[in-house]
Amino acid sequence: MARITNRILSAAELQSFGDELDALRARVTADVGARDARYIRRIVAAVRWTGVAGRALLFLGAFVHAVLVPAWILGVLCLGASKILENMELGHNVMHGQYDWMGDPKLNGKTYEWDIVATGDAWRKTHNFQHHTYTNVRGMDDDIGYGLLRIFPEQRWRPFYLMQPFIAVVFMLLFQWGVAIQDLRVGRWFAGKMKGAELRRAFRPVGRKMGRQLLKDYLVFPLLAGPFFLPVLLGNMVANGMRNVWTFVIIFCGHFTADAEVFPKETIRNETRGHWYLRQLRGSSNIAGGKLLNVMSGNLSHQIEHHFFPDLPANRYAAMAVEVRQICARYGQHYNTGSLPKQFGQVIWRIVRHAFPSRARAVRMPEAAMQGG
């Protein structure tokens, strides 16, 4: 693991670091308009058209046996792409309120409901609020290992974690289900800290959503294919699986690469805006790639920019990244980015390494700077 050096910023430097990012934010906010509206509507159209194409190809394969295999494969790819786009570039970003300024009720952050088993409302709480406010703060950001994995040596080791390389694979394959139950905090029920009735009540909306999604992909659409129920069901299952794996990879690359840091609770006491930006920077990592990667990752390839500006339209991140990088360089701050194989390789290493007991490196981050220098 490459060691990085971040310059310790004085209080005045932190202030101007934050001010520069605020200024960038203000500039882009003022410029948001028709172009961004056109962009997100094109994404909506892409989700719809690839979705229909995918389902149509699955049916085609079922009914025209000569093309069963190629049509099925192409159908799965189309449907998977549709689901990924809907989940990331559309759902995730719209639910952040990035396009609320449009005043379009169908792209409203408060009401958008995405096409996965997790409810939008639970996500708005665990992700938009908890994760984005308390990014990588231990005990406050549930996304650190999702209460299931030990990603950082700062997390206390337990023998349970020896199984985590295996658990991580299962979690990856069933990622949307993990996201769905995240807010239920089942662990508290296991530990006897939550009553069964409370859990059941919290589960009700989640269960409804799960039922609806299962019904759609594993009953209604397969039934429409009549005797060819099975190929359609399998196609839908693989498309959902594709999305699970892809979203897991992108999200884990966002905060769990080698150089990403976690923070103790004390960090956020009296946190200034400059501190907040600095914490977001140190806890996040980008994935370098082209336009396709940006779109398919919901622009989470620009995780740093997303964490700086979670409510700005994500289609702006790529252009903003140029300036963000310059600002970070000017203040001597490491800008964590790398190719997808490199970043995900580091994630895999963390999952494997920290399955075993490990100790945090002494003085991992310049405490003075984080606490106001």
Partner 1 sequence: MNALPVPKPPRLQRAVRRAVSPALFDFWATRFNPLWTLEQPMARLLSRAPAGRDAVTLVLRPNRHWRGMLPGQHVNVGVEIEGRRLVRSYSPTPLEDGTLAITVKAMPGGLVSGHLASKARIGDVVTLGQAFGEMTLAAPRDDLLLLAAGSGITPMRALVRSLAAQGMPVKVDLMYWARQRDELCFVDELQALAAAHPRLRLRTLLTRDESHPDERIDAIALTSVDGLASRRVLACGPGGFIQAARARLEGRVARFDAEAFSAPALVDGEEGEVQVHLARSGRTLTLARGQSLLEGLEAQGLRPAHGCRMGICNTCVCGRESGTVRHTLTGAHNGEPSTQVRLCVSAPSTDLVLDL
List interacting residues with partner 1 (CB under 8 A). 32-38, 44-45, 48, 100-106, 110, 113, 124-125, 128-129
Per residue, the 3-state secondary structure of 302-319, as one string, reads HHHHHHHCCCCCHHHHHH
In Å, how far are 54, 123, 253 from 90, measured between CA atoms? Answer: 18, 14, 20
Per residue, the 3-state secondary structure of the chain, as one string, reads CCCCCCCCCCHHHHHHHHHHHHHHHHHHHHHCCHHHHHHHHHHHHHHHHHHHHHHHHHHHHHHCHHHHHHHHHHHHHHHHHHHHHHHHHHHHHHHCCCCHHHCCHHHCCCCCCCCCCCCHHHHHHHHHHHHHHCCCECCCCCCCHHHCCCCCCCCCCCHHHHHHHHHHHHHHHCHHHHHHHHCCCHHHHHCCCCCHHHHHHHHHHHHHHHHHHHHHHHHHHHHHCHHHHHHHHHHHHHHHHHHHHHHHHHHHHHHCCCCCCCECHHHHCCCCHHHHHHHHHHHCCEEECCHHHHHHCCCHHHHHHHHHCCCCCHHHHHHHHHHHHHHHHHCCCCCCEEEHHHHHHHHHHHHHHCCCCCCCCCCCCCHHHHCCC
Q: Which residue, among 291, 294, 289, 290, has the nearest Cα to 314 in the 3D structure? A: 294
**Per-position b or e across 281-305, b if 16+ CB within 10 A of its CB:** bbbbbbbeeeeebbbbbbbbbbbbb
Q: Look at phi and psi of residue 336 and say left if phi exceeds 0, alpha if psi is from -120 to 50, else beta.
A: beta
